[in-house]
Chain A
Amino acid sequence: MLRFILGLVGLGFVGVLLISFFVTTADYFSNPPEPTAEEEFHHHAKELHLASDGPFGQFDEKQLQRGFQVYKEVCAACHGLSLVAFRDLEALGYNEAEVKAIADQWAIQVPTTNEETGETATRKALPADRFPSPYPNEIAARAANNNAFPPDLSLITKARHGGAAYIYSLLTGYEKQQSAELVRKFPAAKTPQGLYYNPYFPNLNLAMPPPITTNGQVTYAPGNPPPTVDQIAKDVTAFLVWTAEPKLENRHRAGLAVAIFLLIATIIAYLAYRNIWATHKAKVRVTGPLEPQNIAKSQIAKDQEGVAG
C-alpha cells in the first residue's frame, strides 16, 4: 500500500515535469531566445602569468612596488583600498620609515574629529591607518562619476570571474570603437554616451574610462622594465593580487610543508596497514569463480550440460 501511494506521488511529479518539459521545448522552438550582443562579442580573459601563480608562486617585490606606484598615481583617485593598511606595505619591501613617509604624503587624508571643537576634520595618514577612501560615501562617488560607483579594489582579483587575468584583460582590452558588425546586428548594444566599449567586460560597455592609455604614463624608477601599457597593467594587477591575498606566500609555503607531512604520514600509515593485514589479507579475486557473474556463468554451463547442482 505504501509503495502504491508513493508510486502515485512519483507519477504525479514525473507527469508535471514532463508537461513542463514539453512546454519548455515547445516554447524554445516556437519562440527561440534572441541572440545577445554579449553572447557574441564578449571575450574571455587573456592569459596572464604572474610570479605568484602556481603552487610554488611567490610575489615579485619589485613588481608589487611598481604596481603600488600605478595604484597611487592612476587608480587611487577613484578607487578605495579600504582593507589594506599602510603598514601592510612593508610586505612589499618598504622599510618602516618609507611606509611612514608614504602614509604621511598620501593625497587623501583620513577623516577624524577635531579634538577641540568636535567638528569633523581630516588628518594625515599614519602607518596603522587603512587606505582612506577617495569619496566620503557612495552618493558622493556616484555624483562624481556619472552615477557609476568605482568599486573598492582590495579584493577585486578574488571578486570577479576570471580573477587577475580578467582585471589585466579589462585594463588592456578597451577598444576605441565597436565593430561595425556589432552595431549593425545589435543596434541596442551601441555604446551610450559616457560609457566605453570593452569586450572583456560582461556587459561590453563600461563606465570607467580607459585608465592606462599611453606608454610611459607612469614613470618607473631606473632599473625597472619600460612602462608600456601592457607592463603597467600587469604590474597593477600583480599588486591587486597581493591586496586580495596578502598571505599567499605563507599559504604556499605552509601548503608545501603540510603536503609533504601528509604524504609521509600516508606512506607510513599505509605500510603499517599492510603490516597489520599481512596475515589476514583477504581479497576476493576479481575474476575468481565466486564472483557473481562467474557463478551465474557456471550455473548456465551446468544447466546446458544437464549437470545437477
Chain B
Amino acid sequence: MSFAWAKPYEPKSAFGRWIDARLPLPRLVYGAVGGGYPVPRNLNYWWNFGVLAGVFLTIQIVTGIVLAMWYYSSVDGAFNSVEHIMRDVNAGWALRYIHMNGASFFFIVTYIHIFRGIYYGSYKAPRELVWMLGLVIYLLMMATAFMGYVLPWGQMSYWGAQVITGFFSAFPLVGEPLRIWLLGGYAPDQATLTRFFSLHYLLPFVIAGVVILHIWALHIPGSSNPTGVDIKEERDTLPFHPFYTAKDGWFGAAVLLVFALFTYFAPNFLGHPDNYIPANPLATPAEIVPEWYFWPFYAILRAFTVDFILPAKLWGVLAMFASILLLFFLPWLDNSAVRSGSYRPLFKRFFWILVVNLILLGWAGGRAATPVVIAVSQLATAYYFAHFLIILPLISKFERPLPLPDSISTSALHGERSETAPAGITRPSATTATPAE
C-alpha cells in the first residue's frame, strides 16, 4: 500500500465503477493480495507458508461448522456423536478426518512460518507488530486446538483437560479457585465440555480477525525478503498477482496433496489411540500426552523437578508460559541491524542449534517421563531459555555480519543476461576463481 509504483485499482466495467464508488471492496482486495501489492521479487519457498496457514484456517472453519451440525456436546453423547459422524453421516468420516489432520497441518505450516520469521529476522523493525500479532494468533491457535481435542470426550480428551487446567492450580492462592472457575467444577464435566465447545467455535473467528490485523500491519512496510534489505525501487518488486498467486497456487496444491495422503491413508497417524476409548473419570490412562504440537511445551513443563525456592510444578508452569511470552520481546532481544540470517554467520549456527534443540524437546515431551527423557528435556529447556535471553543479545553485540547486497535487485537479478555484476567482485583471483567451492 505504501510504494509509489503500486498499481492503482482501475475498475474495468461499468458495474465495477459503480461498486467502487459505493463500497470499494474490490479495491481493498486488489491492494492487499492483487496486482496492487508490490512484493519483493526474490522471495523463496519459505515465504509460502503464511498463505498456507490461511488456507488451513479456512479448511478448519468450514469443516468445523459442518461437524458442529452433527456434534452433540454432552458428556454422555459427545463420543457417540463423533462415531455417528464417522459411520452414518454422509462423508462424515472425511469431514472429521480432514478436521483432525487439518489441525496438525495448520500447526506444521505455522511452525515453518514462525521459523522462517526467526531465521530471516522478519520480526525486526518496522515489523515488530506483525510478529507480535502473529504470536497472538499462535496463542489463540493453541487454546483452540486444546479445546477441540477435548470435544470428542475420549480418554485423552478428558485427562488432557484435567492435566492442562491443573497447571493453573500451581499458582499460589488464586490457582485452585482459578482452575475451578475455568472448568466450571472440581473436575472436567458437562460444564467444561459445553464451555469448551462454545469457545472452540468462537476462537477461530477471533483468529480470523487477528489475521486481518496481521496482514494489515504487514502491508504497511511490505513483505520482508531473504536478503533482509529494504525495498528501494520498482525493479525490486513484482506485483503479488499474478506472480505470487501463481507461486502460492502450485505450492499450495502440492502441500494439500501431502495433507490428503495423511488424511486419507494414515488419518490416525498423528493421533493417540486412547482417544478412541470413551472418557472414564475413574481410570487414568497409562500415559497422558498432549497432541504432538504441544510436546515441546510439555517437555518444558516436566523439566523442573526440584523445589528451588518455588515448588517445582510452579517453576514448570512459569517456564511454559515464559517460553512463549519471551518471543514477544524477540525484536528487542536481537539487536543486530542485519535482518537476514544468511548474512549472520554466528546467528545462523545458533539458529540451527535451536531447531535441533526444539526437535529434541518435542521428542522428550512425547515420551514417558523416564530419567533419561527428563534429563534431556532439562538440558534442552535450559538451552531454549539461554538461546533467546542470553545468547541472542550477545550474538547481536559481537557478531560481524557479512556485507549486504546493495539492493534486492542486484542480489536477485545478478547473473541474468541483461545485468552485469558490480565491478570489482568478479575480478579473478586465486581465491575466487573456483566458485564451486
- Whether A280 pairs with B238 at a CB distance below 8 angstroms is yes
- Whether B253 pairs with A262 at a CB distance below 8 angstroms is yes
- Whether A292 pairs with B42 at a CB distance below 8 angstroms is no
Residue A290 CB within 8 A of the other chain: yes
Task: Sort A-B residue pairs by CB-CB distance and give the 5 closest, nearest first.
Answer: A255-B264, A10-B389, A269-B250, A159-B276, A292-B402
Question: Once the chains are docked, how many angstroms separate the CA of A154 from the CA of B94?
Answer: 19
- Whether A305 pairs with B264 at a CB distance below 8 angstroms is no
Residue B343 CB within 8 A of the other chain: yes
Residue B68 CB within 8 A of the other chain: no
Kindly report which residue of chain B lies nearest to residue A163, judged by CB atoms: B273
* Residues A83 and B87 in contact in the complex (CB < 8 Å), given A3-B332, A262-B257: yes
Give B333 Cβ to nearest chain A Cβ, in Å: 6
Question: Once the chains are docked, how many angstroms separate the CA of A159 from the CA of B283?
Answer: 15
Residue B430 CB within 8 A of the other chain: yes
Residue A18 CB within 8 A of the other chain: yes
Residue B425 CB within 8 A of the other chain: yes
Which B residues form the contact surface with A (CB < 8 A)? Answer: 41-42, 80, 83, 86-87, 93-94, 97, 238, 242-243, 246-247, 249-250, 253-254, 256-257, 260-261, 263-265, 267-268, 273-274, 276-277, 286, 303-306, 308, 312, 315, 319, 322, 326, 329, 332-333, 335, 342-343, 370-372, 374-375, 378-379, 381-382, 385-386, 388-390, 393, 402-403, 405, 410-416, 421, 424-427, 429-432, 435-437
Residues of chain B lying within 8 A (CB to CB) of residue A294: 432, 435
Question: Once the chains are docked, how many angstroms separate the CA of A180 from the CA of B305?
Answer: 39
Question: Once the chains are docked, how many angstroms separate the CA of A126 from the CA of B426?
Answer: 85
- Selected A-B contacts with CB under 8 Å, 25 pairs: A7-B393, A9-B322, A10-B389, A13-B389, A17-B304, A17-B382, A18-B378, A19-B306, A28-B371, A83-B80, A159-B273, A163-B273, A246-B87, A247-B93, A254-B94, A259-B264, A266-B253, A277-B247, A284-B411, A289-B432, A290-B421, A297-B431, A297-B432, A301-B431, A305-B429
Give B110 Cβ to nearest chain A Cβ, in Å: 21
Give B119 Cβ to nearest chain A Cβ, in Å: 14
Residues of chain B lying within 8 A (CB to CB) of residue A252: 264-265
- Whether B371 pairs with A301 at a CB distance below 8 angstroms is no
Residues of chain B lying within 8 A (CB to CB) of residue A151: 277
What DSSP secondary structure best describes chain A's contact surface?
A: helix
| Interface contacts beyond A272-B250, A273-B246, A298-B431: sample of 19 additional A-B pairs, CB < 8 Å, sorted by A | A7-B389, A17-B378, A17-B381, A23-B306, A83-B83, A158-B276, A159-B274, A163-B273, A202-B286, A251-B97, A255-B260, A262-B257, A269-B249, A287-B436, A288-B435, A289-B432, A292-B402, A293-B402, A295-B403
Question: Once the chains are docked, how many angstroms separate the CA of A263 from the CA of B257?
Answer: 7
- Whether A3 pairs with B375 at a CB distance below 8 angstroms is no
- Whether A273 pairs with B273 at a CB distance below 8 angstroms is no
How many A residues, CB 8 Å from partner? 77
Question: Once the chains are docked, how many angstroms separate the CA of A57 from the CA of B303?
Answer: 43
Which A residues form the contact surface with B (CB < 8 A)? Answer: 2-3, 6-7, 9-11, 13-14, 16-21, 23-25, 27-28, 33, 55, 83, 88, 151, 154-155, 158-161, 163, 202, 244, 246-247, 250-252, 254-256, 258-259, 262-263, 265-266, 269-270, 272-273, 276-277, 280, 282-285, 287-290, 292-302, 304-305, 309
What DSSP secondary structure best describes chain B's contact surface?
A: helix
Residues of chain A lying within 8 A (CB to CB) of residue B260: 255, 258-259, 262
- Whether A24 pairs with B375 at a CB distance below 8 angstroms is yes
- Whether A266 pairs with B435 at a CB distance below 8 angstroms is no
> Which of B249, B256, B371 makes the CB contact (< 8 A) with A272?
B249
Residues of chain A lying within 8 A (CB to CB) of residue B93: 247, 250-251
* Residues A272 and B431 in contact in the complex (CB < 8 Å), given A159-B276, A251-B267, A290-B411: no
Kindly report which residue of chain B lies nearest to residue A305, judged by CB atoms: B429
- Whether A247 pairs with B390 at a CB distance below 8 angstroms is no
Residues of chain A lying within 8 A (CB to CB) of residue B437: 287
- Whether B83 pairs with A266 at a CB distance below 8 angstroms is no
* Residues A55 and B265 in contact in the complex (CB < 8 Å), given A160-B273, A290-B405, A297-B431: yes
Give A227 Cβ to nearest chain B Cβ, in Å: 29
- Whether B343 pairs with A292 at a CB distance below 8 angstroms is yes
Give B98 Cβ to nearest chain A Cβ, in Å: 10
Residues of chain A lying within 8 A (CB to CB) of residue B86: 247
Residues of chain B lying within 8 A (CB to CB) of residue A55: 264-265
Question: Once the chains are docked, how many angstroms separate the CA of A202 from the CA of B385?
Answer: 37
- Whether B429 pairs with A298 at a CB distance below 8 angstroms is yes
Residues of chain B lying within 8 A (CB to CB) of residue A202: 286
- Whether B267 pairs with A292 at a CB distance below 8 angstroms is no
* Residues A265 and B267 in contact in the complex (CB < 8 Å), given A17-B304, A287-B436, A299-B403: no
Residues of chain A lying within 8 A (CB to CB) of residue B388: 10
Residues of chain B lying within 8 A (CB to CB) of residue A297: 431-432
Question: Once the chains are docked, how many angstroms separate the CA of A272 from the CA of B247?
Answer: 9
> Which of B277, B390, B431 makes the CB contact (< 8 A) with A7?
B390
